[in-house]
Amino acid sequence: MTPERYQRIRAMLDARQTDLTVCMENVHKPHNLSAIVRTCDAVGVDHVHAVWENYQDEIRRGTATGSQNWVKVHNHENIEDAVAALRTSGMQILATNLSDSAVDFREIDYTKPTAILMGQEKYGISDKALSLADQDIIIPMVGMVQSLNVSVASALILYEAQRQREIAGMYQAPSMVDKTEQNRIMFEGGHPIFAKACKRKGLPIPHIDEEGQIIADDEWWAKMQMNKEAWDKLDQE
């Protein structure tokens, strides 16, 4: 891994907002799914949630352009399980929904742990999901249409969250990502050839030092069936 690559991944990890996420309920169009994941990566969201049985198959045909490699997607069988997982993390649950109790999305305090529920393209969020939310939010509109594309709406809300968190200094704080997870991301993102071989051979993820280099014993390298010098040369090409 080059020093530039290491620093870029390091900066990304330091900016990750582990207590901000999106939960997509039956969003089924691949380009919308992928666009939301891409926006999540752009604003520092490292985990997103989806209630859709074919998510992993469809996202590969979408337009995430590699962002799914940096954002972990958690697929849930139903909205109750998804919200329960978010509640365990202490998150406020916001639902994009036009209702009498809905407030302008910009009035929300996004510096709190927050999960944003986004509904299916045609029918929106289900009644069950709405009953589980803490607050309905809306994006004010003055035209003839009543709603935006789900990926566009997600982007607007996430960038408002980013704006608030940036003002609060939450992007300058030490990384909130677990050290083990940081090491995994640094390894897989910085040494993709090693990572693929490691997964294929069932080897443990090695330690990545402060210069982005792999630290592993001779046994680990031997199991790779190639010496360290050969791997180093291959990794730099």
**Spans in the chain with pLDDT lower than 70:** 53-68, 226-237
Q: What is the pLDDT of residue 234?
A: 60
Nearest to 13 by CA among 182, 172, 161: 182
Residue 230 sits at the vertex; the CA angle it makes with 228 and 233, to the nearest 5 degrees, is 110
Amino acid at 24: M
Q: Check the annotation: does 156 bind a ligand.
A: no
Angle at the Cα of 52 (from 63 to 185), degrees rounded to 5?
A: 55
**Per the annotation, does 88 bind a ligand?**
no
Which pLDDT score is estimated for 235? 59
Predicted confidence at residue 63, as pLDDT, reads 42
Q: Is 23 left (phi over 0), alpha (psi -120 to 50) or beta?
A: beta
pLDDT at position 64, please? 44
DSSP state of 223: H
Asked whether residue 139 is marked as a ligand-binding residue, the answer is yes
pLDDT digits (tens, 9 = 90+) for 145-193: 777 888 899 999 999 999 999 999 999 877 888 899 999 999 999 998 8
Identify the pLDDT of residue 228.
Answer: 59
Domains of the chain: residue spans and CATH: 17-167 (3.40.1280.10), 179-236 (no CATH)
